[in-house]
């Protein structure tokens, strides 16, 4: 049923339809509305779930870890500092191959403390072993939760999935979202049956000490499984379309008006909506521009990205996070995807924008297309205010 609702509410409705047995979370802006909605559903009895209010994000992640290990579908959500506090548990969850789903309401990292949107939090967890998919709008953010559980709990995958949605822009944005019927979700997402679990009928030891003779294989196995995720996501997109009617192509990348384009921006998340608007306006004026949206950041679809970009002369990668002291995280992957190939873009320039909630406007995107010339630039910050950089230390 179509509803005009806040993004957080849409995600909460989607999570309810996934019927998690245990939910645990710690409040952090801008994730709060999601877990408030879920707490309300549990309180009203419209969601049969154990809602565990914890004393930190570290414990929120640990509670869902314990619940998942006991064979129950579990859910948590967080943001920013919360994701960072969860860090060691997130690595642990992936290492233990527990199929959890976490919503990351993307937000900047302190210091300076800043509650507004960028993607530094989830990007900082890129090496944890989690699958990371980035939503462009609230319909997609909601739908990605059905896909996330289906993917995570696949017997050949058994990896946790982080659904990333831009804080405030999506979590607090109100859009029309089609909330599916329970029967449809049940058709797409079967009841969770774990490969192994904590059960007194069949005792086993989870989380053993694994020495040099065995550890390497645990990492290799996760690396290989991420390849399987790349194969499975397009199949899930097809299954999803068959049940719900919405077409997410291959859930790896989305090409928007890239045919015959001379300049393409590569980006992730809600900013792609703005880029599409600019692309439409510029195309109307005869400018050959397009957008490549990366949907799955982990695993990174190198092959698909390369195929989409190989005939594009000039590529601009727009990052909403940084790897201070190094190249920007999305730009690194795009360049790696094209490295060593015979036919590649002549220019892959890297731009950083929107950190700490600085609006990425239509003008910002136009500026990126302007700065994307035959001269390759790297780590070009958009919308900088030079007057603020004249401050002396401590003044």
Partner 1 sequence: MFGPLTTKPGTSKANKTGSWRVKSRPKFLQKNCIGCKMCTVVCPENCIVGKEKNAYYCEYFFCKGCGLCANICPKKDILMIEEDKEEKEKK
Partner 2 sequence: MDNKPLFIAGHTACAGCGQSLAARLVIEAAGANTIVANNTGCLEVFSTAFPESAWNVPFIHSLFENCAAVASGVEAALKFLGKKDTTNVIAQGGDGGTADIGLQALSGMWERGHDILYVCYDNEAYMNTGIQRSGLTPFATNTTTSPIAEKSFGNPRPKKPMPEIANAHGIPYVATASAGYPQDIQRKVKKAISIKGPKYIQIHVPCPLGWRHESALTIDVAKLAVETGLYPLIEYENGKLTARQIQPKPVEEYLKTQGRFKHILNNPEAIKQVQEVADRNIQKYGLRLEKSA
Which of 42, 84, 115, 198 is in the footprint of partner 2 by CB under 8 A? Answer: 198
* CA atoms of 309 and 184, how far apart (whole Å): 36
* CA atoms of 327 and 95, how far apart (whole Å): 27
Residue 173, binding choice from partner 2, partner 1, none, Cβ under 5 to 8 Å by partner class: none
* CA atoms of 23 and 31, how far apart (whole Å): 14
- To partner 2, the closest distance from the beta carbon of 85 in angstroms equals 11
Q: Is 298 in the site for partner 1 (CB under 8 A)?
A: no
- To partner 2, the closest distance from the beta carbon of 56 in angstroms equals 6
* CA atoms of 7 and 287, how far apart (whole Å): 33
Span from 68-76, 237-245, 276-284, 323-331 in contact with partner 2 (CB under 8 A) = 68-76
CB-CB contact of 57 with 78 (8 Å): yes
Q: Is 225 in the site for partner 1 (CB under 8 A)?
A: yes
User: What separation in angstroms does the CA of 135 have from each of 68, 207, 259?
Assistant: 25, 32, 23
Residue 220, binding choice from partner 2, partner 1, none, Cβ under 5 to 8 Å by partner class: partner 1
Q: Is 217 in the site for partner 2 (CB under 8 A)?
A: no
Binding mask 70-109 for partner 2 (x = CB under 8 A): xxx-x-------------xx--x---x-------------
Q: Is 206 in the site for partner 1 (CB under 8 A)?
A: yes
Residue 68, binding choice from partner 1, partner 2, none, Cβ under 5 to 8 Å by partner class: partner 2
| DSSP conformation class of 136 | S
Q: Is 210 in the site for partner 2 (CB under 8 A)?
A: yes
Closest residue by Cα to residue 101 from 149, 154, 42: 149
Length of the chain, in residues: 395
Which of 56, 88, 199, 214 is in the footprint of partner 1 by CB under 8 A? Answer: 214
Nearer to partner 1 by C-beta: 69 or 355? 69
Beta-strand relationship, 253-256 and 289-294: antiparallel
Site size toward partner 1, by CB under 8 A = 21
Q: Which residue has the tokens 């822009």?
A: 169
Nearer to partner 2 by C-beta: 54 or 222? 54
Which of 38, 65, 141, 158 is in the footprint of partner 1 by CB under 8 A? Answer: 158
* CA atoms of 42 and 40, how far apart (whole Å): 5
CB-CB contact of 233 with 264 (8 Å): no
Window 2-21: residues binding partner 2 (CB under 8 A): 21
């Amino acid at each position: 049923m179509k509803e005009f609702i806040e993004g957080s509410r849409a995600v909460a409705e989607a999570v309810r339809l996934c019927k998690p047995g245990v939910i645990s979370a710690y409040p952090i802006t801008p994730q709060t509305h999601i877990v408030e909605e879920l707490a309300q559903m549990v309180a009203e009895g419209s969601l049969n779930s154990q809602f565990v209010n914890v004393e930190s994000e570290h414990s929120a992640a640990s509670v869902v870890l314990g619940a998942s290990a006991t064979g129950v579908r579990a859910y948590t959500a967080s943001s920013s500092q919360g994701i960072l506090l969860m860090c060691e548990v997130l690595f642990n969850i992936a290492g233990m191959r527990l199929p959890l789903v976490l919503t990351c309401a993307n937000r900047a990292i302190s210091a300076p403390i800043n509650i507004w949107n960028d993607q530094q939090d989830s990007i900082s967890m890129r090496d944890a072993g989690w699958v990371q998919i980035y939503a462009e709008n609230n319909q997609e953010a909601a739908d990605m939760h059905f896909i996330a559980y289906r993917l995570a709990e696949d017997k050949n995958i058994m990896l946790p999935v982080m659904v990333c949605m831009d804080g405030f822009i999506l979590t607090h944005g109100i859009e029309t979202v089609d909330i599916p019927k329970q029967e449809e979700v049940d058709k797409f997402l079967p009841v969770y049956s774990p490969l192994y679990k904590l059960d007194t009928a069949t005792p086993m030891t989870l989380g053993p000490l694994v020495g040099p003779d065995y550890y390497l294989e645990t990492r290799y196995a996760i690396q290989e499984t991420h390849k399987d995720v790349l194969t499975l996501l397009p199949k899930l997109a097809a299954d999803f379309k068959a049940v719900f009617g919405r077409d997410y192509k291959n859930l790896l990348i989305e090409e928007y008006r890239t045919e015959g384009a001379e300049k393409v921006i590569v980006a992730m998340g809600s900013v792609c909506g703005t880029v599409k608007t600019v692309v439409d306006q510029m195309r109307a004026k005869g400018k050959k521009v397009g957008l490549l949206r990366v949907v799955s950041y982990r695993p990174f679809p190198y092959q698909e990205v390369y195929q989409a970009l190989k005939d594009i002369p000039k590529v601009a990668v727009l990052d909403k996070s940084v790897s201070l002291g190094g190249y920007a995280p999305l730009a690194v992957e795009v360049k790696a995807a094209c490295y060593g190939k015979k036919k590649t873009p002549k220019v892959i320039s890297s731009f950083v924008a929107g950190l700490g909630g600085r609006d990425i406007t239509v003008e910002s995107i136009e500026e990126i297309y302007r700065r994307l010339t035959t001269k390759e630039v790297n780590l070009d910050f958009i919308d900088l205010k030079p007057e603020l950089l004249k401050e002396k230390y401590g003044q």
